[in-house]
Amino acid sequence: MNEVNPDNEATFHTCVIQTDFRETKIPKDAIFAELIRNAYNEDSIFAIKLALEEALANAVKHGNQNNADKRVTVRYEVTPEKVTVIVRDEGPGFIPEKVPDCTCADRLSVPSGRGIMLMRAYMDEVYYRDQGREVYFTKRRSSPRMNMPPAAEPTIRRTIHFSGRVQGVGFRFSANSLARRFDVTGYVRNLPDGRVEIVAEGGKDEIDQFQEAVAEAMKVHIQHATLSDAPPTGEFRTFDIAH
């Protein structure tokens, strides 16, 4: 948490709302207006919107437990370089590390914990403070991969099929998030037969490292993986979740 310095938050905009889902529209509209004014792209706006909605929903429902006498405080700063949002409730708090892993097989039907997983997948930084009453998250305008010099033409196209309990466990969200750390393009999608397919193009070393990262992150769910390499097509510009 060395990156988070409360002294740097003195200039943040502040919005205090009642514990009411309808009230959450106020900070959301204000932040989205700033995103548009600073010309953030659609992918970044989608990611920030998702994280903000999850944080506000958790504050209203789980933190303040829908108690109309309590308030939710939203502080935020939008600059051309990054977006920082802090959502605070007046509830009893919680310990994030003790929230059960929502991707575990015995919790696939339980929604609890999915908001935390999604925020961590889409944001560059997520921290909890004051015993979980306050969540701080940041999204940079460009990921480290986007700041890299333009890569040479892809050298291989790799198709990977994962089998096991790989659907409904956040596999696609995790793979999509991990892809941002590597110079790869392509997609991840669920297949009708229960498998997950990843098609990635890029340098062999980058794809090897990406595949290893996915395998490590989802190892408890993967029973088997097969892969095949082929010449690249150059058809992709980004890495996305396909449907």
Beta partners for residue 185, in sequence order: 201
Q: Choosing from 114, 120, 165, 190, which is the catalytic residue?
A: 190
Among this protein's residues, is 38 annotated catalytic? Answer: no
First-residue to last-residue Cα distance in the chain: 36
Q: Choosing from 88, 133, 172, 195, which is the catalytic residue?
A: 172
Q: What is the arithmetic mean of pLDDT over 217-226?
A: 93
By residue range, what is the domain housing residue 133?
6-140
User: How many structural domains comprise the chain?
Assistant: 2
Q: Is 99 domain-assigned?
A: yes
Q: What is the pLDDT of residues 12-23, one digit of tens each?
A: 999 999 999 999
The structure tokens 């460009």 sit at 142
Instruction: Examine the pLDDT at 203 and tell me if it is beyond 50.
Output: yes
The answer to whether residues 161 and 80 belong to one domain is no
The structure tokens 């058809």 sit at 235
> Which has the minimum average pLDDT: 99-103, 104-108, 234-238?
104-108
Q: Residue 78: is it exposed, middle or buried by C-beta count within 10 angstroms (0-12/13-18/19+)?
A: buried
Among this protein's residues, is 190 annotated catalytic? Answer: yes
Q: Is 35 domain-assigned?
A: yes
Whether pTM > 0.85 for this model: the answer is no
Instruction: Examine the pLDDT at 108 and tell me if it is beyond 50.
Output: no
